Structure 1
Amino acid sequence: MSRNQSSISISGTILITSLVINTLIIRSAYLNPTYYWWLIISMPLLGIIIFNIIQKKHAILRNYPLLGYLRYIFESIRPEIRQYFFESDADGKPFNRRQRSIVYQRAKNVKQTVAFGMQTDPTQVGYEWMVHSIYPVHIKNKSPRVLVGNKQCRQPYNASILNIGAMSFGALSKTAIESLNAGAQLGGFAHNTGEGGISPYHLIGGDLIWQIGTGYFGCRNHVGNFDADLFRKNASNPKVKMIELKLSQGAKPGHGGILPAAKNTPEIASIRNVPVNTTIVSPPAHTAFSDAKGLIYFLETLRQLSRGKPVGFKICIGSKQEFIDICQQMKLTGIVPDFITIDGAEGGTGAAPLEFTDHVGMPLMEALSFVSTTLTKMGLKKHIRLIAAGKIITGFDILKVISLGADICYSARG
């Protein structure tokens, strides 16, 4: 007997059994009307069995019209079962329970100390630690800042060491954006807009880093190319402190984005300057330039149009030679960006293909080390601030990336 015949046999047996049971209930109801109540249960079950035997979408439900649902029920609660019963505090991806707990505790300003000593295994491969000093330094400045802007910048920005990473309105709700921006104002740090443009919810009071992606949202013309006049208008907003040109992001480097028509509401369309209720595709590459020299000149264009505000680019390192080419063009043209954002391959996104999420791009620590070393060798490091992004949660994470050459950090999911 073939597998297909076996499946038909199982489904047929279940159907016949159900029909026999319902027939017996109906016959019994003639003798005792109380049996009609059983039909309230048996008849819907018969309908479910018939429907699942006919449908061709789910093989499991077609073969096991009733018991098959158990499989989907158990599958739906699998993450919760693993998290609450089997997963240790140090397990879990992309963040373990200890990391999540510290975020919740600090957000609520509740007890966050750890009792009974170290909970990690210092003998495991990959264990990291900091080297302390027996002569602690007394820091008077409780809120250290980093000046972003070299000699070519006319409006340098005094940035916080930790800032809110890129998350667009559209990916997040207006309430979330308002909360993040109000938090930025309260904490004295900057809020990266993400590539979705500047919405009214970004203008609560916090400083902004305006990110521009390949879709040029908020500074594009009707065919999707860069619009200098519209850029100048938005860049002149006093809340916009820095301009970040996104070349690639860690979670999906080299991959464009899609704004489905269903999510492209009149409000979002107005903010992004796109036709309403249409699917908008952000291409993988920019249309304003196609090589390292073009990138450098475009950054200078953004600097001039924004009246000298700090400009830089965001990149997930792929080919090392491509980054070296960019640095060489800085030397040849004399045009040096004010900052470079390094996004590690461990970065997050709303949606990305599995191949990109798990296997494309250089992890943050390796990328930071490479970029910092390259800039130093070429004599550019002293002119450019490095911003690190990628699973930064605790103070240890901040110190780790600073030790590798970063000046400033982003935290988005955290």
Structure 2
Amino acid sequence: MKESIRFTFIAFVIIVLFIGLITWPLIGLITIIVLILLIGIRDFYQKKHTILRNFPVLGHMRYLLEMISPELHQYVVESDTDGKPIDRNHRSYIYSRAKNQNKTHPFGTELDVNERNYKWMHHSIYPAKKLESPPRVKIGGASCTQPYEASLFNISAMSFGALSKNAIKALNLAAKEGGFFHDTGEGGISKYHMNGGDLVWEIGTGYFGCRSENGGFDPEKFQEKANWDQVKMIEIKISQGAKPGHGGVLPAAKNDEEIAEIRGVKPHTDVLSPPGHSTFQDAKGLLDFVEQLRFLSNGKPVGFKLSIGNREEFIEICKKMGETGIKPDFITIDGAEGGTGAAPIDFSNYVGMPWESALIFAIDTLKKFGLKDEIKVITATKIFTSFDVFKALCIGADICNSARGMMLALGCIQALKCNTNECPTGVATNDPRFVRGLVVSEKWQRVKNYHENILEDFLELLAASGCDSVDQLNRSMIYKKSGESWISYDESA
């Protein structure tokens, strides 16, 4: 139906242009000008397409290229398996599920099944009955008095400031309606987060939202906000995959008065989070901080997020858990492939352990020290598809988060303008000219659809594997290339 309307619109434009040409110059020129004006007005006020709303008339060139000549786009501009950091296939996958469009794919896989990076899951000739609804995961160890039951798939950490107010509001409304959590990112809790969606409050090295005048941690400010009903869990950010050991950067162009007030910093300046925490400098200090935050939040789940670097440091943390008896309720494992709006290129390219290796190492280390049963593991790096979720759970994760997947569901087109305040879709900018294009009432539903469809697809994969419970998933179900042979993740561990 939508395609027929589009083609009718194109046909109408062509006819009017033809009439304009044959009645040229006076009547034709007026006809064409009126047509362009009407199209521009329609684009400016419609709510579904951000690009058209922000770029009336001109924005049609992008859609016309897609509709009139997809082959030109595929073979001259970008093939379906090209595009960095997220290829066109994955972007199309996310868009289709966000818009509740056709889930089927024509003519077979476009992937090279013999390449080294190809992964696949085994299936059963006796599929299990598909679960009616996705299971939820209880987070909260022995010291937690307010455990939380989380969705298998959630919104990863993205701060207000890095994302626009409309983007944050849409994400939170989607979390509310879809029953999944929304990680605030290290930028603090804004009023745009307070739309009823469950929050994981991330505490970074800048302590935004609970920051003292000298930039340190303020227990009283933390205690007040941590006990808000909407805040369900607390996450201490040690490092993130895109820039481990570097700290966050909010460019001055994005740091307006509102954001500065929320963070407790000076407006219109570059905001640099320190590379490390001032509250602790070793494993014992980290665990003491976990215990302090759990006490101040009256027993809510507290965990920490990190990108694995020096393996011995993670092992030391696990040893100290055994010695002190202090355990986080969850650990979030990020990978070197993680995304960010602004990071030095060498940090993005060469620092930190890749996601799969990091997750395997963390899971195996926790099991070695007898900690895995009590500590839930969340993972977040390039989780876009139901197979990504399936693979992560097979490796040993309990929960998956996605940041860039949720951004694409909001309407991000991977314009790579995140660090310039010029994002054309209004997702990663605070420029009101672009933010107006992101209509919250339209976009939150797309994020909700994406979440819902990912889990629906996951349940189909789970049934195809012959499993009727996520507890049955294990590494023997996922295969990868080793030399000229295929081996399971269980064999390669």
For normalisation by structure 1, the TM-score amounts to 0.78
Residue 395 of structure 1 deviates from its aligned partner by 0.4
Residue 302 of structure 1 is matched in structure 2 by 293
Residue 406 of structure 1 is matched in structure 2 by 397
| Contact kept? 1:292, 1:329, Cα under 8 Å | yes
1:244 matched to 2:235? yes
**Deviation string for 1:20-75 (max 9, x for gaps)?**
xxxxxxxxxxxxxxxxxxxxxxxxxxxxxxxxxxxxxxxxxxxxxxxxxxxxxxxx
Distance 1:95 1:327 in 2: 34
Residue 83 of structure 1 deviates from its aligned partner by 6.8
Structure 2 vs 1, CA of residues 126 and 262 (structure 1 numbering), >3 Å: closer, same or farther? closer
Q: Which runs of 4+ in 1 moved over 6 A?
A: 81-84
Residue 183 of structure 2 is matched in structure 1 by 192
Q: Secondary structure of the residue that 1:386 maps to in structure 2? A: strand
Residue 272 of structure 1 deviates from its aligned partner by 1.2
The one-letter code of the counterpart of 2:222 is: F
Among 136, 157, 175, the residue aligned to 2:127: 136
The one-letter code of the counterpart of 1:403 is: C
Residue 108 of structure 1 is matched in structure 2 by 99
Residue 356 of structure 1 is matched in structure 2 by 347
| Contact kept? 1:222, 1:274, Cα under 8 Å | no
Structure 2 vs 1, CA of residues 143 and 352 (structure 1 numbering), >3 Å: closer, same or farther? same
Q: Secondary structure of the residue that 1:163 maps to in structure 2? A: strand
Among 110, 121, 141, the residue aligned to 2:112: 121
Structure 2 vs 1, CA of residues 394 and 331 (structure 1 numbering), >3 Å: closer, same or farther? same
Structure 2 vs 1, CA of residues 83 and 228 (structure 1 numbering), >3 Å: closer, same or farther? farther
| Contact kept? 2:148, 2:232, Cα under 8 Å | yes
Structure 2 vs 1, CA of residues 82 and 284 (structure 1 numbering), >3 Å: closer, same or farther? farther
Among 374, 382, 385, the residue aligned to 1:383: 374
Residue 45 of structure 2 is matched in structure 1 by none
Q: Taking every aligned residue pair, what percent have the same amino acid on both sides? A: 60
Among 256, 262, 281, the residue aligned to 1:290: 281
Q: Secondary structure of the residue that 1:147 maps to in structure 2? A: strand
Greater mean alpha carbon deviation, residues 238-247 or residues 82-91:
82-91
| Contact kept? 1:164, 1:192, Cα under 8 Å | yes
Q: Secondary structure of the residue that 1:98 maps to in structure 2? A: helix
1:201 matched to 2:204? no
1:211 matched to 2:199? no
Which structure exhibits the higher relative contact order, with contacts defined as CA atoms closer than 8 Å and separated by 6 or more residues?
A: 2
Q: Secondary structure of the residue that 1:325 maps to in structure 2? A: helix
Residue 396 of structure 1 is matched in structure 2 by 387
The one-letter code of the counterpart of 1:269 is: A
Greater mean alpha carbon deviation, residues 139-148 or residues 385-394:
139-148
Residue 269 of structure 1 is matched in structure 2 by 260
1:369 matched to 2:360? yes
Among 172, 179, 195, the residue aligned to 2:170: 179
The one-letter code of the counterpart of 2:100 is: N
Residue 138 of structure 2 is matched in structure 1 by 147
Q: Secondary structure of the residue that 1:205 maps to in structure 2? A: coil
The one-letter code of the counterpart of 2:202 is: Q
**Deviation string for 1:232-272 (max 9, x for gaps)?**
00101100000000000000000022334443322112211
| Contact kept? 1:343, 1:388, Cα under 8 Å | yes
Q: Larger radius of gyration, structure 1 or 2? A: 1
**Deviation string for 1:358-402 (max 9, x for gaps)?**
100001100000000000010000010000110010000001111
| Contact kept? 2:74, 2:80, Cα under 8 Å | no
Distance 1:259 1:392 in 2: 24
For normalisation by structure 2, the TM-score amounts to 0.66
Q: Secondary structure of the residue that 2:373 maps to in structure 1? A: helix
Q: Secondary structure of the residue that 1:211 maps to in structure 2? A: strand
Listed as ranges, the gaps of 5+ residues in structure 2 are 1-71, 406-493
| Contact kept? 2:232, 2:300, Cα under 8 Å | yes
- How well do the aligned residues superpose, as a CA RMSD in angstroms? 1.5
Greater mean alpha carbon deviation, residues 120-129 or residues 281-290:
120-129
The one-letter code of the counterpart of 1:300 is: E
Distance 1:277 1:354 in 2: 24
Residue 165 of structure 1 is matched in structure 2 by 156
The one-letter code of the counterpart of 2:316 is: D
Listed as ranges, the gaps of 5+ residues in structure 1 are 1-80
Q: Secondary structure of the residue that 2:404 maps to in structure 1? A: coil
| Contact kept? 2:184, 2:202, Cα under 8 Å | yes
Structure 2 vs 1, CA of residues 218 and 354 (structure 1 numbering), >3 Å: closer, same or farther? same
**Number of residues of Structure 1 aligned to a counterpart in Structure 2:** 334
Distance 1:117 1:324 in 2: 44
Which runs of structure 2 are paired with 1:335-346 in the superposition (5 Å)? Answer: 335-346=326-337
Distance 1:172 1:379 in 2: 39
**Deviation string for 1:193-249 (max 9, x for gaps)?**
000000000011110000010000000111100000000001011000000000000
Residue 320 of structure 2 is matched in structure 1 by 329
Distance 2:338 2:73 in 1: 24
Distance 1:203 1:170 in 2: 15
Residue 82 of structure 1 deviates from its aligned partner by 8.3
Residue 287 of structure 1 deviates from its aligned partner by 0.3
